[in-house]
Amino acid sequence: MPKSIVVDPNKVRKAGQIEIPPIPVNQYAADPKKEEKKYGKKRLLKMYQDMVFIREFETMLNNIKQQGEYRGIPYDHKGPAHLSIGQESAAVGQCLLLDREDYIFGSHRSHGEILAKCFSAVDKLDDSALEGILKGYMDGRILSVVQKEHRGDLRSLALDFVLYGTLAEIFGRETGFNKGLGGSMHAFFAPFGSMPNNAIVGGSGDIAVGSALFKRINRKPGIVIANIGDASSGCGPVWEGIMIAAMEQYRTLWPKEVGGSPPILFNFFNNFYGMGGQPEGETMGFGMLARLGAGVNPEALHAERVDGYSPLAVADAVERKRKILLAGKGPVLLDVITYRISGHSPSDASAYRTKEEIALWEQNDCIADFGRYMVESGWAADSDLEAIRSAAAERVSRVCRLAVDLSISPRLRTDDADRIGEVMFSNQKIEKFDDREPEALLPLEENPRLESNRRKSRSGLDEQGKPLPKAKVIAFRDALFEAMLHRFYIDPTMVAYGEENRDWGGAFAVYRGLTEALPYHRLFNTSISEGAIVGTAVGYALSGGRVVPELMYCDFMGRSGDEVFNQLAKWQSMSAGVLKMPVVLRVSVGSKYGAQHSQDWSSIVAHVPGLKVYFPATPYDAKGMLNLALAGSDPVVFFESQRIYDIGELFEKDGVPEGYYEVEEGEPALRREGSDLTIVSVGATLYRALEAVEELEGKYGVSAELVDARFINPLNYDRIVASVRKTGKVLLTSDACERGSFLNTMAAQITQLAFDELDGPPVVVGSRNWITPCAEMEDSFFPQKEWILDAIHERLLPLKGHQTRSNQSIEEMQRRNRRGV
């Protein structure tokens, strides 16, 4: 079903020019009368208080880092503290009018943003909702600490809760917001809309877009703000995030009732510095950061520069932009100017800027300025402001005293229990993340591809055990399709996207038949932005939905390295299990297309803690393992070899079941029983290993047991070890390059688990440590049946009369190692 966006040569060839709308700069006009009327004195005073609290909090950390104490409380804080002294007005102004359902994501310098957002949420919640959160969060653990010493009402208690939860997190305590597993740069408190902060600068750029997509697609209230530093405007995830956020399809192709573009505000806290580099005038070319909006879309992202030293200017901008976003007319970019008077970190000597410049900003200090403005406007007396400042010092001291005390604020115990291990995965079965009816265009049973599947054989073999023609069998890709379809009709939050996912049917036709079945917002094409394809999925999932992003080729994972390794893998554990990450990242592994389209990088993801890694090799497993992944709550990198998309089921007697089933997680499959030696395969190499097993049997009378690992992580070694105990010999093979391949980890594990039963060391047969050559030369690169037989002959079990065709000797192994190839 082709889309209806016609590319008409008569239109696209016409002469003309592009008009870029003007981008306002610092246009806010202060008007005390209007401001008082709008906000009321109480709220304006509260704004001042929020800023003062943040200043005191950061000053406390600065003193602790630089002098080892704050107001007579000694403490040695080993971790980082990127302070935002000078930036308080921008954070508080931003949060003033946000609702609790509005989310902010941020970066390494986010203490002030966390506090500002939480203070704002406290103001907006009614007593019972507020109490519910304080009592319910981590079973009331944080509340019970602050409650003891606190005297005052619920709202005042909530302030202690916010200050203490943040500080205990910074100090790495179990009583912190994330049990100390996030720390200073990753702390957040989701119940108040303060979402993950990222030590990978710019990392929130695409994650926040995913969160906004979640809100839009699932009709959730609120907007999402990505708080990004000015120097991080050069980051790939920021640009890719903007590209996905600005896709036109939300307004041209998605159903109107979904509501338009995702409600995302790219908010740059522009303090004019990276660590030492200066984006304006040195490391970037935009002149003014707000200009970045100009090239992106006809609205220039509604971009504006806002004076962040006036909290009311920021509040006004956020309020106006929020309306645009809720109307589905975003995305929006704000360039909020501010200045960090503190160093990048407490050890920073500010060698990259002059003392005069710092003094200029100190003269304009945003808190002192606002205080003066309040007094001049008659909103407060000096004594009111002084009272707020001394109350802040008293409160921050109280909280600090609690947070440094190990008997009150202990660390997570890791000595007697695997407490960090427990939060690496959430390991839950979740049928659906919401109860509403899944949106679909067709009843499941009427799906055209299911109908054609019904005419195919569920097995790849006929009754005599002979292979059936490929067009007549349920192939690997059909099996994947059935798993996807099943979950789409159960979980209304489930979405899938990537490059060419919709009309094309996915690059390898796995999704053919889904375009007819699903509305646009559940299956869509994205820009070619591999980083943000994964990054938005991270944001979507941690906001509460299930998502299946696709990478067309494993090689392109290089483009999404940070999103896979640092984001997808880590947010469940860095949140101490507060967040879930139901992302199934489908990654196809190529061949035939040479060096940049044929790599199996399963070992790289296996190396990174926090990812599950599946690698099915049969249609039965494709469906059963994808069903398993799609019912879970953890990030799964799901590898699919392009070599076998069209293969039928050869191992399971009854073929691929029509109904729902799951493969047991982590359990390898026994493909052939044998007694003389064990072959373990990962991925599509299974079929070459099978040929080797058949030749061993037929030609040499050797009985080989063939085990298909199926899983890389988690992996239960019992079956493999049981086989090795029986045979005493093991060869491992896969299409990944041999050096650093996961096979070597398996070989080391087997050696340790079954050393006494082994006749010799495990033998690894991987691909050569070369670039993958062209299709015609591939046989010299990927493991072949002959290599397996030769390696067995040379190193495990001499085969009578065998003529080797490749060199699998120990000497050759050493030669290759020496040469690094």
Ligand X SMILES: Cc1ncc(C[n+]2csc(CCOP(=O)(O)OP(=O)(O)O)c2C)c(N)n1
| Residues catalogued as catalytic | 597
Task: Report if residue 767 touches ligand X, rule: CB under 6 A.
Answer: no
Q: Which residue is nearest to ligand X (CB)?
A: 229
Nearer to ligand X, 258 or 334 (CB): 334
d(CA 470, CA 477): 12
d(CA 48, CA 257): 40
Q: Torsion over CA of 462, 467, 471 and 475, rounded to 10 degrees?
A: 90
Out of Mg ion, ligand X, none, which partner does residue 232 contact, by CB within 5 to 8 A per kind? ligand X
Neighbours of 324 (CB within 10 A): 18
Question: What residues pair up with 763 in beta bridges, in sequence order?
Answer: 731
d(CA 277, CA 288): 15
Nearer to ligand X, 39 or 339 (CB): 339
Q: What three-state secondary structure class fits 598?
A: coil
Site for Mg ion in 254-273 (CB under 5 A): 271, 273
Task: Report if residue 282 touches ligand X, rule: CB under 6 A.
Answer: no
Selected from 250, 273, 339, 379, the binder of ligand X by CB under 6 A is 273
d(CA 158, CA 142): 11
Q: What is the DSSP letter of 643?
A: G
Min dist CB 647 to ligand X, Å, is 41
Min dist CB 689 to Mg ion, Å, is 54
Neighbours of 725 (CB within 10 A): 14
Q: Which residue is nearest to Mg ion (CB)?
A: 229
Task: Report if residue 271 touches ligand X, rule: CB under 6 A.
Answer: yes
Min dist CB 661 to Mg ion, Å, is 52
Min dist CB 272 to ligand X, Å, is 8
Out of ligand X, Mg ion, none, which partner does residue 275 contact, by CB within 5 to 8 A per kind? ligand X
Cis peptide before 221 (omega within 30 of 0): no
Out of ligand X, Mg ion, none, which partner does residue 626 contact, by CB within 5 to 8 A per kind? none
Site for ligand X in 232-251 (CB under 6 A): 232
Q: What is the DSSP letter of 378?
A: T
Neighbours of 499 (CB within 10 A): 18
Site for ligand X in 713-752 (CB under 6 A): none
Site for ligand X in 206-235 (CB under 6 A): 229-232
d(CA 801, CA 700): 8
Task: Tell how many helices (H) and how many strands (E) occur in the chain.
Answer: 27, 20
Q: What three-state secondary structure class fits 303?
A: coil
Out of Mg ion, ligand X, none, which partner does residue 200 contact, by CB within 5 to 8 A per kind? ligand X
- Segment contacting ligand X by CB under 6 A, of 196-204, 395-403, 536-544, 587-595: 196-204
Closest Cα to residue 395, out of 49, 783, 726? 49
Min dist CB 352 to Mg ion, Å, is 12
CA 664 → CA 109, 625, 711, distances in Å?
43, 8, 10
216 HSE (CA, 13 A, CB side):
33
Nearer to Mg ion, 228 or 400 (CB): 228
Min dist CB 699 to ligand X, Å, is 55
Min dist CB 783 to ligand X, Å, is 37
Min dist CB 335 to Mg ion, Å, is 12
Nearer to Mg ion, 362 or 386 (CB): 362
Contact, 93 vs 315, CB < 8 A? yes
**Cβ neighbours for 454, distance < 8 A, ≥ 6 positions apart:** none
Min dist CB 225 to Mg ion, Å, is 16
Contact, 457 vs 648, CB < 8 A? yes
d(CA 118, CA 189): 8
Q: What three-state secondary structure class fits 82?
A: coil
Distance of CA 471 to the CA centre of its chain: 38
Out of ligand X, Mg ion, none, which partner does residue 199 contact, by CB within 5 to 8 A per kind? ligand X
Task: Report if residue 200 touches ligand X, rule: CB under 6 A.
Answer: yes
Say how many residues touch ligand X, by CB under 6 A.
14
d(CA 130, CA 137): 11
Out of Mg ion, ligand X, none, which partner does residue 201 contact, by CB within 5 to 8 A per kind? ligand X
**Amino acid sitting at position 176:** G
Site for ligand X in 581-640 (CB under 6 A): none
Residue found under tokens 């002469």: 15
Q: Tell me which H or E stretch contains 525.
A: strand 523-525
Q: What is the DSSP letter of 265?
A: E
Nearer to Mg ion, 103 or 273 (CB): 273
x/- site string to ligand X, residues 502 to 541, per CB under 6 A?
----------------------------------------
Out of ligand X, Mg ion, none, which partner does residue 563 contact, by CB within 5 to 8 A per kind? none
Say how many residues touch Mg ion, by CB under 5 A.
5
Nearer to ligand X, 269 or 489 (CB): 269
x/- site string to Mg ion, residues 217 to 256, per CB under 5 A?
------------xxx-------------------------
Selected from 114, 199, 324, 392, the binder of ligand X by CB under 6 A is 199
Site for Mg ion in 437-456 (CB under 5 A): none
| H helix intervals, 555-658 | 561-562, 571-574, 602-607, 619-630
d(CA 537, CA 585): 9
Nearer to ligand X, 93 or 668 (CB): 93
Nearer to Mg ion, 107 or 175 (CB): 107
Site for ligand X in 109-128 (CB under 6 A): 109
Min dist CB 780 to ligand X, Å, is 39
**Cβ neighbours for 272, distance < 8 A, ≥ 6 positions apart:** 230, 278, 279, 280, 337, 339
For 198, phi and psi rounded to 5 degrees? -120, 125
Nearer to ligand X, 199 or 507 (CB): 199
Structure tokens at 785: 């049946």
Burial 347-367 (b: 16+ CB within 10 A, else e): eeebeeeeeeebeebeeebbb
Out of Mg ion, ligand X, none, which partner does residue 730 contact, by CB within 5 to 8 A per kind? none
Nearer to Mg ion, 108 or 671 (CB): 108
Task: Report if residue 274 touches ligand X, rule: CB under 6 A.
Answer: yes
Out of Mg ion, ligand X, none, which partner does residue 601 contact, by CB within 5 to 8 A per kind? none
Task: Report if residue 275 touches ligand X, rule: CB under 6 A.
Answer: yes
Selected from 168, 201, 656, 693, the binder of ligand X by CB under 6 A is 201
Task: Report if residue 535 touches Mg ion, rule: CB under 5 A.
Answer: no
Min dist CB 608 to ligand X, Å, is 16
Closest Cα to residue 272, out of 296, 260, 288, 259? 288
Nearer to ligand X, 109 or 321 (CB): 109
d(CA 206, CA 247): 13
- Segment contacting ligand X by CB under 6 A, of 39-47, 272-280, 313-321, 369-377: 272-280
d(CA 79, CA 597): 41
Min dist CB 239 to Mg ion, Å, is 17
Task: Report if residue 112 touches Mg ion, rule: CB under 5 A.
Answer: no
d(CA 152, CA 150): 6
Nearer to ligand X, 519 or 561 (CB): 561
Structure tokens at 119: 């203070």
Nearer to Mg ion, 201 or 606 (CB): 201
d(CA 87, CA 113): 9
Say how many residues make up the chain.
Answer: 821
Q: Tell me which H or E stretch contains 404.
A: helix 382-404
Selected from 65, 108, 486, 512, the binder of ligand X by CB under 6 A is 108
Min dist CB 231 to Mg ion, Å, is 5
Give the binding site for ligand X (CB under 6 A). 108-109, 199-201, 229-232, 271, 273-275, 344
Give the binding site for Mg ion (CB under 5 A). 229-231, 271, 273
